[in-house]
Chains A and B, each alone.
Chain A
Amino acid sequence: MAGTTIEKIAVTGLACAVPTTKYKTESYIERFGETEVGKFVDMVGVKERYVSIENQTGSDLCYTAAKELLSYKNIEPSTIDALIYMTQIPDYKQPSTAYVLHKRLEIKQDCLAFDINLGCTGFIYGITVMASLINSGLVKRGLLLVGEVSKADKMTDNHTNAMMFGDAGAACIIEQGESQINTLLKSDGTGFHIMGIQGGQARHPLNKENPDWDSIEPHMNGFETFRFAITKAPSVWKEFSKSFHCTIEDFDYVIFHQANKFMVDHIAHKMKLTKEKYPLSIDRYGNTNGVSIPITIVDLCEREENIPETIKLLCIAFGVGLSWGTISIVLNKKDVLPMIYSDDYYEEAYSIKFGQGEET
């Protein structure tokens, strides 16, 4: 798509939740050896990250974040007209996890609810889709949720998968307002195989007798991913700046998807950014996929005392799809909640049997 301005939109609340258990990357030395772990930390930059307990899913973290955000903003669930859940790891194959969240958050029936399967660009896509729904008049106030719980560490002997991904959920309120967002999103399906999880769905279902567990793990061509990101991220910014006649100085911060520190540093270097301009959170939260941009914003607001009351942000994301893009948003610092730590999960979900009448 070409760069588009969506008018009369405001992002009026943002909260993120992470589990309470912190894994330090150095604790993997025994498992993978000092050299491997050292190289990983130098390159990828993850020093620690938060990992969910077994029963906790991305929707649980989003529920916690949304509950706190709605309460803080004093918003009645009956005023929410759309709930979109961005995830790659839904609670169920069917229905969309958005309906589980719709029930738990006690949102009215006059509401759209659906999931979108997107990874690292989940937040910027979600904002764009929700803003478009609002701009069309269909929705006045929307709740955007982005959640990922990879469970990768428990499944994998792949060093990168085991040490890279952090678990997190974000909740964001977007509604009619006096601000605007500028958005520019791109897709390239020719790279659909460069990263992803191949097995477990219709094309390659798990074989009942002899399941190929490796096929349901994330696989990534690191070289091609790196090449894609360092080329596309700076070029989409260039196109964005031309479309909207803006420069880096028009933004307080540039928030990158926290894929890999070396990669993000390289992109920032190409965009001639100073270290102060692009905050990092990957060192303490890992790569949390689509949640990494909201996590970085929440972390920034919590950590930095001298940020303006109204923050102008340029968000740049790139990832599985291949999908990439950039959006600009304006946030009030007072609308960003401090990081929430929680191991809460939807206990009743474990006693519900699908297709067996009313839930009691």
Chain B
Amino acid sequence: MSIQEKIALLEEMLELEEGTLTEETKLEDLEEWDSIAAISYIALLDDKFNVSISANMINSFQTIADALSYMK
């Protein structure tokens, strides 16, 4: 899956317009990145990538690139 496809998955998850996110987007600037988004992210990783991630790891994320790094 390409980076663009992964970003599209995150945009869909956060109910954002296509093209809103880039790898550099800071999570602290993103109003939609809240506790529910984090749980949706855990579900997305589980569903599409068969990856399990701890809360501490998610809390250490700073940018969309960090979120993308587990989507493999």
**A residues apposed to B, CB below 8 Å:** 39, 42-43, 221-224, 226-227, 230-231, 262, 266, 269-270
Q: Is B60's beta carbon under 8 Å from chain A?
A: no
Interface pairs (18), CB distance under 8 Å: A42-B36, A222-B35, A222-B39, A223-B35, A223-B54, A223-B55, A223-B58, A224-B54, A226-B42, A227-B42, A227-B46, A227-B52, A231-B46, A262-B43, A266-B43, A266-B47, A269-B47, A270-B47
Q: What secondary structure prevails in chain B residues at the interface with A?
A: helix
User: In the complex the two chains form, what is the Cα distance from A224 to B39 in whole Å?
Assistant: 9
Q: Which residues of B contact A223 (CB under 8 A)?
A: 35, 38-39, 42, 54-55, 58
Number of inter-chain CB pairs below 8 Å: 40
Q: Which residues of B contact A42 (CB under 8 A)?
A: 36
Contact mask B17-32 → A, CB, 8 Å, 1/0?
Answer: 0000000000000000
Which residue of B is nearest A194, CB measured? B55
Q: Which of B35, B39, B55 has the most CB of A within 10 A?
A: B39
Which residue of B is nearest A230, CB measured? B46
A43 B36 Cβ-Cβ under 8 A: yes
Q: Which residues of B contact A269 (CB under 8 A)?
A: 47
User: In the complex the two chains form, what is the Cα distance from A230 to B54 in whole Å?
Assistant: 13
Chain B: residues with Cβ within 8 Å of the partner, total of: 15
Q: Is B13's beta carbon under 8 Å from chain A?
A: no
Measured CB to CB, the closest approach of chain A to B47, in angstroms, equals: 7
Measured CB to CB, the closest approach of chain B to A31, in angstroms, equals: 19
B47 A227 Cβ-Cβ under 8 A: no
Q: Which residues of A contact B46 (CB under 8 A)?
A: 227, 230-231, 266, 270
